[in-house]
Structure 1
Amino acid sequence: MKNKNHLLLILGISAILVVFLATRSKIVVKDEEQAVQKTSSSQEEHDDEDSEEHQMAIPLEVQNKVAAFRKELSGASPTKTQELYSNIAQVYVQASVFDSAGYYFEKIAVQSPNKTNWTRVGEAYFQAYNLALSPQKIEAFVEKARNGFNQVLKLDPNDLNAKTNLGMTYVKSDSPMKAIGMLREVLDQNPNYVPAIMSLGGLSMQSNQFDKALIRFQNVLRIEPNNQNAKIGMAYSLIELDRKPEAKKIFEEVLNGEIDPVMKDELTKTLNSLK
């Protein structure tokens, strides 16, 4: 359904990845089943220096910034090297080249294996995984993401962020119910953990269980009354449940607030289609 696809562009699969939520709506994403089956037709780019494979073409401006930092790597102290790796990774994050960002975050984490560093590895590869189209890329990135989150959980078994994201890596796998099971485990630990509730809401929408999705988003709004993503999820669920007047009211409320321009354009189109 068109409305459902629009929501998934805006909401994404996991509401806790801020960068992913900000960039997901700017990328043309295929139907979930097609995305898993389709192989990428784009030319892979390889870096002879460090052999990381890029998920997308790298803009010249980004290449120049990265090249400048790499020049400084020669003879750099371990501390300076870590700083430069971080700078390179952040350049890639800003350009939405998440696989390459993960590559450098992992270099940092291997040398300094703390919770923060492994979290950055997991989240970068998780975003690369969600945007990948070829089965080979999906498999490679999901394994990297799982490793990052598992490393976090070894250091802190109660990290609900890592456990939620780890669960969501199973959505496109042969064991999608494992995702739901892990999210429910998170909610057993903290019934009000919004990212897990939002993720379950998104999964309910994917399976066309809009009544359940609506309840999930309503629960989020009881916890966080100003959660824009929950309002959007609720509005799209209401459309699918043929409760369009209620959906229109929510869209108008969201559009009256501060909102990302791309998201605003999508919501405006949806609202106009209801008139």
Structure 2
Amino acid sequence: YIKMEDYQNAVNALSMGAKIDPANYSIHYNLGISYVKLGMMNDAMNCFKECLKIKPNDSYALYNLGISAFQAGNLQEAKDALNNYVKINPNDVNARFNLSLILMKLQDFEASSNQLREVLRLDPKHAQAKYNLGLSLFSKKDYKSAIEAFNSFLASHPNDTNALYNLALSYLMEGLHTEAIKTFKKVISIEPNNALAHYNLGYTYLLIKNKFGALEEYEKLQKINPELAQKLKSFIEKVKD
């Protein structure tokens, strides 16, 4: 049934098999895979847990338990399973990357940064790891290192506006206003209606006492996002001529 991709009938047959032979690893494993294919992640998790009762620290069961738990939204269980998996398979790039995604969702940015650095040690060209490392570092307020990570990503994706915007924010938070302005402008050159870029460009202008530049961005924002325009205006009004 699995070879024919008839996963519902596979589940029916394997469920019967598991009742007859509950200590059979292969039955529980293939049942788990069939549940994954049907999108039934909680059932899949239970099958992989049964596998681990039969074969503790089995790599295949640990990995699939981690992924199915992640997809089911059970982040702590996913983290535990993949942590155990990478102890056994430390050079598995995909496992480490998925573990980093789980850690980011758990807002453990120190741990996610460490996993992403390991991903990049194993695969230096892993672009998404570079970008996510920037996000993790930004989230833990390590703006200087975030700048390095975003620039590393942008070396191969120079017009990615999400990376450029986050790089500009990192420059802003690090107090590098000239670089922030230049980078926000690049975002706007690619996406002229990017309201957040206009807003933050205007805000950065105010930080260097360029009220005229901030007013220009306010005028543009009025047409794109009046609510953000008003927010910027409230900051402009606090600045003395």
TM-score bracket for this pair, using the shorter chain length: 0.5 to 0.7
Letter of the 1:255 counterpart: N
Is the 1:251–1:271 contact (alpha carbons within 8 Å) kept by the matching residues of 2? no
RMSD over aligned Cα atoms: 4.0
Confirm whether residue 121 of structure 1 aligns to residue 99 of structure 2: yes
Where do 5+ consecutive residues of structure 2 fail to align?
Answer: 1-39, 49-60
> Aligned residue for 2:206?
239
Distance 1:272 1:244 in 2: 11
Task: Tell me whether 1:86 sits opposite 2:84 in the alignment.
Answer: no
Preserved CA contact (<8 Å) 1:73 1:84: no
Question: 1:173 deviation in Å?
Answer: 7.6
Contact 2:134–2:145, Cα closer than 8 Å, also in 1: yes
Which residue is 1:160 aligned to? 127
Q: Which amino acid aligns with 2:71?
A: S
Deviation, 1:168, is 5.0
Aligned twin of 1:208:
175
Instruction: Give per-residue Cα distances to partners, 1:18-67, cap 9 Å, x unaligned.
Output: xxxxxxxxxxxxxxxxxxxxxxxxxxxxxxxxxxxxxxxxxxxxxxxxxx
Matches within 5 A, 1:70-81: 76-78=46-48, 81=65
Distance in 2 between the 1:199 and 1:75 partners? 36
Higher helix fraction (1 or 2): 2
Kindly, what percent of the aligned residue pairs are identical? 18
Q: Does the Cα contact within 8 Å between 2:147 and 2:171 map onto a contact in 1?
A: no
Match of 1:144 in 2: 111
Post-superposition CA distance 1:229-272 (Å, at most 9, x none): 3233223223333233212113313325xxxxxxx5x6644434
Please, what TM-score do these two structures have when normalized by structure 1?
Answer: 0.48
Quick one: which of 228, 233, 239 aligns to 1:271?
Answer: 233
> Secondary structure of 1:77's match?
helix
Q: In 1, distance between residues paired with 2:201 and 2:68?
A: 42
CA distance in 1, matches of 2:102, 2:223: 32
Q: 1 or 2 for the larger relative contact order (CA 8 Å, sep ≥6)?
A: 1
Give CA-to-partner distance per residue, 1:120-149, whole Å, 9 cap, x none.
5324534654xxxxxxxxxxx233202332
Aligned residues: 175
